[in-house]
Amino acid sequence: MFKPIRAALLGSLLLVPSLALAEEAAAKPLNDPQIATIALTAHQIDVDRGKVAQKKAKSPEVKQFADSMVTDHTTGKQEVLDLAKKLGVKPQESAVTADLKKGAKDTANKLKKLSGADFDKAYVDAEIGYHQAVIDAVEKVLIPGVKNAEVKDALEKALPTLQGHLQHAKNLQSMLASGS
């Protein structure tokens, strides 16, 4: 379970289509604290990226999407923190969270060099890849691997929001491509 999620998330963060979850051999399963920390890290990455887009985006629709990312993922992050506190789970880093952070830094460096419509397109494209990878990881790796019922429930409840973000980003991508 370990390497497939790393490959999926890192590949997507770098905007390289790599969702070979089933192709890589698992090194070792993730434990619940690591899974919770992955969720926390994923939320923080989207909050940080959204804050950049709030400042740099040209399109009002992209700015509104960035506002949603900051609001929704701040809420999601707090929910993870609250659940971890309730369960007495301390964050536990893993190679997955390290890869998430590295991928986010690489994407941030790419976005930093862009402005205007080029930034808008790259930001939306990054969000599509990121949300698809996170959805795939939640469905195929995190939910099947989690042991605690409350953590599993929280992951399952997060899916509709993530799917909504993905669809919103795809709609934005279409709008930006058509020039409207």
Give me the pLDDT at residue 5, please.
Answer: 41
- Residue 179 pLDDT > 90, yes or no? no
**C-alpha to C-alpha distances, 173 to 15, 24, 68, 110, 141, nearest whole angstrom:** 15, 30, 16, 18, 27
pLDDT per residue as tens digits for the range 121-142: 999 999 999 999 999 989 988 8
8 Å CB contact between 45 and 32: no
Residue for token pair 């020039």 = 179
pLDDT per residue as tens digits for the range 21-55: 222 324 568 898 999 999 999 999 999 999 999 99
The pLDDT confidence band at residue 56, using thresholds 50, 70 and 90, is very high
Helices 95-112 and 32-56 meet at what angle, rounded to 10?
Answer: 10
Q: What residues does each domain of the chain span?
A: 2-15+31-178
Q: Which CATH number fits domain 2-15+31-178: 3.50.50.60, 1.20.1260.10, 1.20.120.420, 1.20.1290.10?
A: 1.20.1260.10
Which of the pair, 3 or 173, is modelled with greater confidence?
Answer: 173
- What are the respective helix, strand and coil percentages of the chain, to the nearest 5? 80, 0, 20
The pLDDT confidence band at residue 170, using thresholds 50, 70 and 90, is very high
